[in-house]
């Protein structure tokens, strides 16, 4: 019978020295050794790389041209290799649209769940939305001001790609004359040639009418035709006004407002049907901070209280400012601090309704009229976004801050999607929950018998994936946590949870230190997840330094004995007890207790302190912490306890602002005492140092600069006129 083991012979990748190794199927194997001993060279650059290369070679020539040619590892032979999957310790990406929910596909199932069993509510009054009768729709249309001219339209294509020439011809055969295509009215005999790769909206114009009681029968016929053509939805488009969406299936019984039937697309913040129109589904947008925009409260508007506006000179705009202030019994000379809060808000952000205005002509007469005021700041924000001038963006950028969207408040979805509830919670409410809270919510969710049957499959997938996240120690993450804010270890464990949920069998998984950043309290849950992956019929290879992982592994393959050129050899291969007995293994010496990390006999004492007072950022609850200076301090706690919130989001951001003059925005806290004892702050995080092939340790650390200078000062270099740049491979004269 053919062996199912992976057999590697003569591996020479990087510092590996003709290493032979055999890995049986269905084992949890731990690669250990000192840093630089060759563990990753064997696991990732040999076994995983060869598995990927063979997979790519099995594809068609057409597919391979998009993937590129993968280099064959320097190895004599590899046999018994199954499909390989790498779960490396790297950031999840910089895309703010990617979240924990989307990475694990939980959000996709939530969209289906809310579309199928969610209860729509009116966005205006919160009343549950039900179906609307044909006569009710006619009454709703006749409630328009008498004499209003309007058109009845049937929406048949909404946000879909295609050319639709056959559709236009079919509508002509049915007797229709006009349609509105992408907001423009056209004759069906003269329809435009639509771009097939662009999304289009097509509404058929059923009839053009006037809102009068004597036209009730004709309006009813138009409603019947529109509902039949568009399967239950129609648009009423007045000549002077916004379109009114009316549905025979979903409308508010209180205020008559209609809504589109829920669909999975409605709950996607990456598509136009569901995303918030203000922030485009990001949940945040850049807007002017009112505290920065009005730094001097004792000044009046006429004196330049609004800093980005300065002293107003435009008389036409000033009469709008006067109209707003007059509503609150103030004028342009009133100090800002004496203007009521509502008046300040209206002046900066605008007034929805029309306001009374007085324009003083140069001859002394007064022209009284009504107008809409959009506010002082929105036009400046728009100018900042659209301007190509660096000086304009720099001047206005000093007042800009990134904050939650003013419309969706960070929920990312439009109001219709936020108004669909399950168990009293909207989809954004569920996404804001932690993994642990979401699991409890769905475990206790009570649905009707019919809805339970409909939601059974979606609930099973959601709960299963939440359990996998709990198993890898990520119970503290919220489902809407964005990918750029995740650490490398968290991203790796999320991908591990996704792989456990995929149910693949016969795969070789290669993991890079999955326990890094994980509290020892959660280590057993992570190891149980790895064992579950192994027991499903997979081979699991873990590159790890963690002692608990070594003791739980079926086998340990120890590389060494030293780093770099001193390593690259297979020191010992066996159980952890066999490795512990090996005299040649450095790892075994620490496993057996022969070597230990010594505890210092005496410790340094601090004379100066840094005190953070009243920290309330994220989950911190009014914490006050004293940190000693001139000593090494360690901030610990279980995952999600608030360590990064305190040190990274508050302390580093505040010190970078005060010492390095960086434009940062620290988390919520009262004050930090002792900053005067420091002169600068440096952050060393988990982000990679760069991806350019021209960078190496010597260039990154700056050591290459003095070396080039030394060579340029040699006698022969001076004779030839060589400068330091001559010895750089990044400039034309040196490379």
Query: Are 121 and 165 within 8 A, CB to CB?
Result: no
For residue 677, the cross-strand partners are none
| Sheet strands (E) in 521-650 | 539-543, 555-560, 569-574, 609-615, 623-628
DSSP 300: B
Tell me what the pLDDT averaged over the chain comes to: 86
Ranges of the chain with pLDDT below 70:
1-3, 89-93, 130-131, 249-256, 258, 488, 687-688, 690-691, 735
Q: From its phi and psi, is residue 560 left (phi > 0), alpha (psi between -120 and 50) or beta?
A: left
What does the pLDDT read at residue 1? 37
Beta pairing class for 28-32 and 539-543: parallel
Question: pTM for the whole thing?
Answer: 0.68
User: Token pair 């982000």 is at which residue?
Assistant: 687
What are 133-163's pLDDT values in tens digits? 788 888 888 888 888 899 999 998 887 888 8
For residue 470 the two structure tokens come to: 């709990």
HSE-CB of 93 using CA atoms within 13 angstroms: 13
What does the pLDDT read at residue 113? 93
Residue intervals in the chain for CATH 3.30.190.20: 127-261
DSSP 282: S
Q: How far apart are CA 528 and CA 181, in angstroms?
A: 57
Instruction: Give the right CATH number for 284-404 from 3.30.2320.80, 3.90.1150.10, 3.40.50.300, 1.10.8.280.
Output: 1.10.8.280
Q: Specify the DSSP element, H or E, that contains 643.
A: helix 643-644
For residue 373, the cross-strand partners are 351
What are 440-455's pLDDT values in tens digits? 999 999 888 888 898 9
First-to-last CA distance in the chain? 56
Query: Are 88 and 492 within 8 A, CB to CB?
Result: yes
What's the fold here for domain 127-261? Ribulose 1,5 Bisphosphate Carboxylase/Oxygenase (3.30.190)
The CA-CA-CA angle for residues 245, 249, 254, to 5°, reads: 70
What are 314-343's pLDDT values in tens digits? 888 888 898 889 888 898 899 998 999 898
Phi/psi at 632 (nearest 5 deg)? Answer: -90, 120
Q: Specify the DSSP element, H or E, that contains 201.
A: strand 199-210
Residue intervals in the chain for CATH 3.40.50.300: 6-90+505-592
Q: How many CB atoms lie within 10 A of CB 695?
A: 12
Written as one string, the DSSP assignment of 218-281 is HHHHHHHHHHHHHTSEEEEEESSS--EEEESS-B-TTT--B-PPP-GGGG-TTSTTTB-TTTTT
Superfamily of domain 6-90+505-592: P-loop containing nucleotide triphosphate hydrolases (3.40.50.300)
Residue intervals in the chain for CATH 1.10.8.280: 284-404
Q: Specify the DSSP element, H or E, that contains 142.
A: helix 134-142
User: Token pair 């018998």 is at which residue?
Assistant: 449
For residue 205 the two structure tokens come to: 């114009």
Residue 353, helix vs strand vs coil: strand
Q: How far apart are CA 141 and CA 134, in angstroms?
A: 11
What does the pLDDT read at residue 438? 94
Decide: residue 302, CB within 10 A, 0-12 exposed, 13-18 middle, 19+ buried. Answer: middle
Query: Closest by alpha carbon to 333, among 304, 360, 292, 308?
Result: 304
What does the pLDDT read at residue 3? 54
HSE-CB of 711 using CA atoms within 13 angstroms: 12
């Amino acid at each position: 019978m053919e062996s199912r083991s992976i057999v590697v012979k003569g591996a020479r990748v990087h510092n590996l020295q003709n290493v032979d190794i055999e890995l049986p199927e269905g084992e949890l194997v731990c690669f250990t050794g000192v840093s630089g001993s060759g563990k990753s060279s064997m696991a990732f650059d040999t076994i995983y790389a060869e598995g990927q290369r063979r997979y790519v070679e099995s594809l068609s020539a057409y597919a391979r041209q998009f993937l590129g040619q993968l280099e064959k590892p320097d190895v004599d032979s590899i046999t018994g290799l199954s499909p390989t999957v790498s779960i490396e310790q790297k950031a999840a990406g910089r895309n703010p649209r990617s979240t924990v929910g989307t990475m694990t596909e939980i959000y996709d199932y939530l969209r289906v769940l809310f579309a199928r069993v969610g209860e729509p509510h009116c966005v205006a009054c919160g009343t549950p939305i039900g179906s609307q009768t044909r006569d009710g729709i006619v009454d709703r249309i006749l409630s328009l001001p008498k004499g209003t001219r309007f058109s009845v339209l049937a929406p048949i294509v909404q946000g879909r790609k295609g050319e639709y020439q056959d559709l236009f011809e079919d509508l002509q055969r049915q007797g229709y004359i006009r349609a509105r295509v992408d907001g423009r009215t056209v004759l069906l005999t003269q329809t435009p040639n639509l771009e097939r790769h662009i999304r289009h909206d097509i509404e058929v114009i059923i009839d053009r009418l006037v809102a009068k009681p004597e036209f009730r029968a004709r309006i009813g016929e138009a409603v019947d035709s529109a509902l039949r053509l568009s399967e239950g939805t129609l648009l009423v488009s007045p000549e002077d006004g916004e379109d009114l969406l009316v549905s025979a299936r979903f409308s508010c019984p209180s205020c008559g407002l209609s809504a589109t039937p829920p669909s999975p697309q409605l709950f996607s913040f990456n598509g136009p049907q569901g995303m918030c129109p203000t922030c485009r589904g990001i949940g945040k947008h850049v807007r002017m901070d009112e505290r920065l925009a009005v730094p001097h409260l004792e000044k009046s508007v006429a004196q330049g209280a609004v800093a980005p506006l300065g002293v107003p000179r435009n008389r036409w705009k000033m009469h709008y400012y006067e109209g707003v202030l007059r509503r609150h019994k103030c004028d342009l000379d009133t100090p800002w601090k004496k203007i009521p809060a509502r008046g300040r808000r209206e002046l900066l952000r605008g007034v929805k309704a029309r306001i009374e205005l007085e324009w003083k002509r140069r001859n002394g007469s007064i022209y009284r009229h009504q107008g809409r005021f959009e506010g002082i700041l929105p036009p400046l924000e728009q100018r900042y976004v659209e301007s190509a001038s660096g000086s304009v963006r720099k001047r206005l950028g000093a007042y800009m801050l990134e904050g939650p969207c003013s419309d969706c408040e960070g929920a990312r979805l439009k109001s219709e999607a936020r108004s669909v509830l399950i168990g009293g919670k909207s989809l954004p409410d569920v996404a804001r929950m932690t993994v642990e809270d979401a699991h409890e919510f769905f475990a206790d969710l009570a649905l009707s018998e019919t809805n339970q049957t409909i939601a059974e499959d979606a609930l099973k997938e959601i709960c299963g994936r939440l359990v996998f996240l709990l198993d890898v120690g990520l119970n503290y993450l919220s489902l809407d946590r964005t990918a750029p804010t995740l650490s490398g270890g968290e991203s790796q464990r999320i991908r591990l949870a996704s792989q456990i949920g995929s149910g693949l069998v016969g795969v070789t998984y290669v993991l890079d230190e999955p326990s890094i950043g994980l509290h020892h309290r959660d280590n057993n849950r992570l190891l149980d997840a790895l064992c579950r992956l192994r027991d499903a019929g997979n081979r699991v290879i873990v590159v790890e330094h963690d002692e608990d992982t070594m003791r739980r592994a079926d086998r340990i393959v120890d590389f060494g004995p030293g780093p770099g050129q001193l390593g690259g050899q297979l020191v010992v291969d066996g159980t952890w007890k066999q490795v512990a007995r090996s005299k040649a293994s450095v790892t075994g010496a620490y496993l057996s207790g022969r070597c230990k990390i010594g505890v210092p006999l005496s410790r340094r004492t601090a004379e100066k302190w840094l005190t953070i007072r009243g920290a309330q950022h994220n989950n911190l609850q009014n914490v006050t912490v004293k940190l000693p200076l001139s000593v090494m301090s360690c901030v610990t706690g279980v995952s999600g306890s608030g360590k990064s919130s305190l040190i990274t989001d508050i302390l580093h951001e505040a010190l970078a602002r005060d010492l390095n003059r960086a434009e940062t925005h620290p988390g919520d806290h009262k004050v930090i005492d002792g900053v005067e004892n420091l002169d600068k702050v440096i952050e060393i995080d988990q982000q990679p140092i760069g991806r350019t092939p021209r960078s190496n340790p010597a260039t990154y650390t700056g050591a290459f600069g003095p070396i080039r200078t030394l060579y340029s000062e040699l006698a022969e270099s001076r004779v030839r006129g060589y400068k330091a740049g001559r010895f750089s491979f990044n400039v034309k004269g040196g490379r």
